[in-house]
Structure 1
Amino acid sequence: MDPRYSAQDILRCNLCEIHVVQSHCELCQTNLCKSCVGEHLSDSTKKHRVVPYKERTSTPNYPKCPAHSKNCELYCEQCDIPVCSTCISSGKHKGHHLSDVLQKISSKTKDMEKEFKELETRIFPKYEEIASGIKSKKDNLETHYRKLTTAVTKQGEDWHRVINIIVNKQKSEIDEMKTEHLAALNKEENEITKITAEVKQSIADLKKILGSTDISLASVYKPRNAKFKRLPPEINVSLPSFSPHQINTDQLHQMFGSLSALSITTEEHGYTIKTLEAVSCPPVKPLLDEPKLITIIDTEHKYLHSVTCLSDEEIWTRGDDKIMKLYNLQGKLLKSIQTKSGNKPRGIAVTRSGDLVYTEPDTRTVNIMKNKQIQEVIRLQGWKPRYVCSTSSGDLLVTMNSDDEQSKVVRYSGSTEKQTIQFDSEGKPLYSSGNIKYISENRNLDICVADNRANAVVVVNQAGKLRFRYNGHPFTTKEEFDPLSITTDSQSQILTSDCKNNCIHILDQDGQFLRYIDNCDLSYPWGLCVDTRDNLFVAELNCGKVKKIKYM
């Protein structure tokens, strides 16, 4: 037997294994001779407390051998278990590499601390993020399918009872796709919930082990992080859409319209496995070579700042006074609304239910027009609301500035604050201190802000993480990029008005420049919005006109 482990042999240094022990490191549980103390202390990656061997404070708490009820002072690397002297004498571990059990457990403890940190700071938050994303998808699911049902119902009302059988058939298809869609998301949510529970349990187990003095718990711990690091596939859904056609009584079935198929895919490590093949896809709308001016609407605003669509036939406008005005496309004034306080409004938007929302920086409020009554929805302290948009889920996104010139975007559900977006991953401000920050939600749920003072379009994802900044296309613009308003269309394209260059920039959803709209005699283009048919409405600042432009 190795004389190092013989009870009759004098105690040797754990490092050189030759000289007699004179000192002991209490933190590392290492016996040292006089010559090796300096070498041991030179390892700056660990903390040390070296004392004379006779003055060591306590005897190490070795794990007990379950078979022989002895202290396990060694660790069998091949068997991955602590062993006692009787285990070694039995011959079961002959030829195996043996190491000091306390050093081994110390090493495992460090690995567990790393694993605990990774679980708590990286893995568990990722699963929480996925679960949150699934909830958002489920929230948006109701809105989308409700819109589909409404579109089909409206088409059916136009055609009356002669096509009821077709209406009912397509409603049934929507319900089936909705059920299938929801089932897929529920399945994904259940899987994430299950794994999240396992991650939480692992965190709890590690907390218990790391906080315990019973090192036998650490000796039998088996890592699980490798399992959790491989995230389950994420379900991606290509949402169906309804494509109505013009009424033709001779071809009812062919002309009524069609629903694109529900397409559910799973995405993992850069590739997609389709679980349900799409029968047809929503049509892609190419950009026109030359955008066309369709209509010019003269408003009574001296300076026109904002425009937002109530429908494909009616638009709300906001100028430089306290009045907001509703026009039809023939330029007829349908309604005028004065702010409750008599102050100027700033941002205007239309909710999914058709109510007008406006911000009022002077009173620090966000207000809504419901049932011909103006109601205060949000009142801020220390911040002034600037611009607002209504999201696909029915939330409000509000840009705002603080009294000390900070800027942020806040998401509200009714009067409840749900999310704040202010800093990037390095803790730097996402937005400038300027006041002009029009905002829009893209179809892919990105949040797009035209930050005028920063001369940039700033786009973050639904979680508030920066995706990209667009600082203009300098090769063809004459003046500095001057983004004012911003809107998005059915293709997830981003449109921003460039006032100084009298044009509109069109970007794809990843921030790549596609083209300009620089014809149509644009003059100081400011406010923008897009209707359900992807027609663009441009509010011209100085002449008070709104131009309807077809660009796809």
Structure 2
Amino acid sequence: MLHPRRSAQEVLLCDLCETVPLQSHCELCNINLCKVCVGEHLSDLSQRHNVVPFLQREATAANSKCTTHARKDCELYCEKCDIPVCSTCALFGKHKGHDVSDVLEKLSSKTQRLQKDLEELETRIYPRYEGMASYVQTKKAELETKYGKLTTAADQQGENLHTEITAIVNRRKSDIEEMKSKHLSTLNKNADGITQKIIELKQIISLMKSILESNDDSLTSTYKSRNSAFRTLPPKVRVTVPSFTPQKIIKDQLNEMFGSLPPLSINTEQGDTVKSAEAVSSPPVKPLLDQQRLTATIDTDYDYLYNVSCISDGVWTHGDNNVMKLLNLQSKLLTSIQTKSGNEPRDIVVTRAGHLVYTDYDKTVNLVKNKQIHTLITLQGWRPFNVCSTASDNLLVTMDSDDRAHFKVVRYSGSTETQSIQFDDQGRPLYSSGYLPKYISENRNLDICVADFRGKAVVVVNQSGKLRFRYTGHPSNTKKSFNPRGITTDSQSHILTADYNNDCIHILDQDGQFLRYIHCGLEFPRGLCVDIRNNLFVAECRTAIVKKIQYL
């Protein structure tokens, strides 16, 4: 049988030494043995051991022998230790006091679970991996065609310029081939990873089938599900083939006018997660209140307040100094943390694990754990602005380049960059540039929502970075231009954004349709967050007050 600490694809090992592949099975003691350990096992003359070749062992229904009381069947199942036991062990032995159940019912339940996992692997997960492998092959074929067209275009332009352009033609071809090679290399690497997962899945599926077919309770009782490890699919590589831009031939400017290729673009998307068959259904619909209610106000004692992030018993805040404060609903200071650099933090967020994360002007993203500050990310050439924590416990960070000419959203798993979002499908910037914050939040449907203050829009892309929509405000009940600052989402997939100039909150559905405003006497709203009970917390910049509002 498989040792419970060993994975499904490994060789079956001896139960005694746990290092050498098994060969035999003692039917009296119900253990597996290697050639060396057989002799040691038979040296115990107090028992009449019956050692047989492993493949000739007798399959048992629900009467596996107790390892402590060799002549007794295991008619019970210890829930705490997760093994079959005999009645003597359950009543008087080391399992005394443990919760026990009928071994037949337990093994039947485990068999059903194994069958469900097998069905999920065969019908839901494995086909997705096959589909991804097919996708990579299709993209490789497309690369061949499209890069061929690029080469043809370069050749045509080179013929137009005759011999004096030959050197430039060769350089451009080299650029194209290098980009193609990198694209193909990336796709090949992605395909190899998918293929390896498929091989593992086949091995696990085969093993699970053999367990079911063997009718061996000892194998079934030690079965451990590994489906969760495969529900998160591998990253999906998205390659963007550049376009060739020919120019009118000017002899003195051949090198510049020949044409150019944009930088190589390889975008690795975060792998989708296959929902399990037991996945929880959507939460019940909570209607919006016609009249929202202000239920609490928290005085933060800053001169200017910039953001707020919720925890179970209070809110983290940051303002116009280098101290981040944890306050309860009665404005009592519970904890304060000073930034490691001494700078004013640029943004804060509380992770799913309850730890505080802040971005700093020194180009770092930092984690506060047990009041100790750990630098997670240090940037070069880019400066972090705002940050949010995702459902998968990643961080999404908005950042601008040092020259303020470019802006992007980057996903991090721990300290590792896994995704960069900067351009739409036509190569145009998704976000405005310039030195202004862009608050960010992940919606329940995994859309990434950015409040682009300078761009005067809420920009929403899907989890792959593809633009879904831009919301540029609603004409009713507003006096000044729409300038969104803070942004958050709730359990209903509503998007809430702070309209700084018009002293209100816009509520949108997940597709960008305006639903209604929240006013509640707000003044210069900036940072937003929603707690697990869908209470909205609004950081008012100039009053330095956090307002708690019920709107559902």
For normalisation by structure 2, the TM-score amounts to: 0.53
What is the alpha-carbon distance in structure 2 between the residues aligned to residue 206 and residue 438 of structure 1? Answer: 37
Q: Secondary structure at the match of 2:126?
A: helix
Q: Secondary structure at the match of 1:305?
A: strand
- After superposition, where does 1:221-300 map in structure 2 within 5 Å? 282-300=283-301
* Structure 2 equivalent of residue 319 of structure 1: 319
What is the alpha-carbon distance in structure 2 between the residues aligned to residue 292 and residue 205 of structure 1? Answer: 58
1:495 aligns with 2:496: yes
- After superposition, where does 1:104-183 map in structure 2 within 5 Å? none
CA contact (8 A) 2:441 2:487 kept: yes
* Structure 1 equivalent of residue 417 of structure 2: 417
* Structure 1 equivalent of residue 355 of structure 2: 355
What is the alpha-carbon distance in structure 2 between the residues aligned to residue 395 and residue 281 of structure 1? Answer: 22
The one-letter amino acid of 2:371's match is K
* Structure 1 equivalent of residue 240 of structure 2: none
What is the alpha-carbon distance in structure 1 between the residues aligned to residue 114 and residue 295 of structure 2? Answer: 37
Q: Secondary structure at the match of 1:432?
A: coil
The one-letter amino acid of 2:308's match is V
* Structure 2 equivalent of residue 473 of structure 1: 474
The one-letter amino acid of 2:510's match is Q
CA change 1:182–1:282 in 2 (3 A) is: farther
1:187 aligns with 2:109: no
- 1:317 Cα deviation from its structure 2 partner: 0.2
The one-letter amino acid of 1:467's match is R
Q: Secondary structure at the match of 1:190?
A: helix
What is the alpha-carbon distance in structure 2 between the residues aligned to residue 279 and residue 318 of structure 1? Answer: 35
* Structure 2 equivalent of residue 533 of structure 1: 533
- After superposition, where does 1:28-39 map in structure 2 within 5 Å? none
* Structure 2 equivalent of residue 521 of structure 1: 521
Q: Secondary structure at the match of 1:193?
A: helix
What is the alpha-carbon distance in structure 2 between the residues aligned to residue 329 and residue 207 of structure 1? Answer: 57
For residues 339-392 of structure 1, the C-alpha deviation after alignment (integer angstroms, 9 at most, x for no partner) is 00101101100111111000002x100001012210110000111000000101
* Structure 2 equivalent of residue 369 of structure 1: 368
What is the alpha-carbon distance in structure 2 between the residues aligned to residue 340 and residue 492 of structure 1? Answer: 35
CA contact (8 A) 2:283 2:492 kept: no
- After superposition, where does 1:416-455 map in structure 2 within 5 Å? 416-434=416-434, 435-455=436-456
What is the alpha-carbon distance in structure 1 between the residues aligned to residue 491 and residue 464 of structure 2? Answer: 21
The one-letter amino acid of 1:419's match is Q
- After superposition, where does 1:25-104 map in structure 2 within 5 Å? none
What is the alpha-carbon distance in structure 2 between the residues aligned to residue 522 and residue 351 of structure 1? Answer: 27
**Runs (5+) with no aligned partner, structure 2:** 1-100, 102-108, 145-275
Count of matched residue pairs: 319
CA change 1:425–1:205 in 2 (3 A) is: closer
CA change 1:202–1:459 in 2 (3 A) is: closer
- 1:193 Cα deviation from its structure 2 partner: 2.5
CA change 1:431–1:185 in 2 (3 A) is: farther
What is the alpha-carbon distance in structure 2 between the residues aligned to residue 179 and residue 392 of structure 1? Answer: 29
Structure with the greater alpha carbon radius of gyration: 1
CA change 1:309–1:186 in 2 (3 A) is: farther
- 1:203 Cα deviation from its structure 2 partner: 8.5
* Structure 2 equivalent of residue 150 of structure 1: none
* Structure 1 equivalent of residue 43 of structure 2: none
The one-letter amino acid of 2:473's match is G
CA change 1:501–1:379 in 2 (3 A) is: same
- 1:199 Cα deviation from its structure 2 partner: 6.3
CA change 1:425–1:333 in 2 (3 A) is: same
CA change 1:191–1:349 in 2 (3 A) is: same
CA contact (8 A) 2:409 2:421 kept: yes
* Structure 2 equivalent of residue 407 of structure 1: 407
- After superposition, where does 1:202-213 map in structure 2 within 5 Å? none
- 1:207 Cα deviation from its structure 2 partner: 11
- 1:206 Cα deviation from its structure 2 partner: 11
What is the alpha-carbon distance in structure 1 between the residues aligned to residue 288 and residue 349 of structure 2? Answer: 26
- 1:299 Cα deviation from its structure 2 partner: 1.2
Q: Secondary structure at the match of 2:538?
A: strand
The one-letter amino acid of 1:319's match is G
CA change 1:325–1:514 in 2 (3 A) is: same
Q: Secondary structure at the match of 2:128?
A: helix
Q: Secondary structure at the match of 2:305?
A: coil
For residues 269-317 of structure 1, the C-alpha deviation after alignment (integer angstroms, 9 at most, x for no partner) is xxxxxx9899986320000010000011111111011000022x21000
The one-letter amino acid of 1:335's match is T
CA change 1:179–1:296 in 2 (3 A) is: farther
For residues 185-235 of structure 1, the C-alpha deviation after alignment (integer angstroms, 9 at most, x for no partner) is 763331133344456678899999xxxxxxxxxxxxxxxxxxxxxxxxxxx
CA change 1:204–1:399 in 2 (3 A) is: closer
The one-letter amino acid of 2:422's match is Q
What is the alpha-carbon distance in structure 2 between the residues aligned to residue 302 and residue 204 of structure 1? Answer: 57
What is the alpha-carbon distance in structure 2 between the residues aligned to residue 491 and residue 327 of structure 1? Answer: 27
* Structure 1 equivalent of residue 343 of structure 2: 343
CA change 1:332–1:280 in 2 (3 A) is: same
CA change 1:193–1:317 in 2 (3 A) is: same
What is the alpha-carbon distance in structure 2 between the residues aligned to residue 504 and residue 360 of structure 1? Answer: 27
For residues 233-278 of structure 1, the C-alpha deviation after alignment (integer angstroms, 9 at most, x for no partner) is xxxxxxxxxxxxxxxxxxxxxxxxxxxxxxxxxxxxxxxxxx9899
The one-letter amino acid of 2:477's match is T
Q: Secondary structure at the match of 1:490?
A: coil
- After superposition, where does 1:536-547 map in structure 2 within 5 Å? 536-547=536-547
What is the alpha-carbon distance in structure 2 between the residues aligned to residue 464 and residue 480 of structure 1? Answer: 27
CA contact (8 A) 2:283 2:491 kept: no
What is the alpha-carbon distance in structure 2 between the residues aligned to residue 464 and residue 328 of structure 1? Answer: 37
CA contact (8 A) 2:507 2:515 kept: yes
- 1:330 Cα deviation from its structure 2 partner: 1.3
The one-letter amino acid of 1:188's match is R
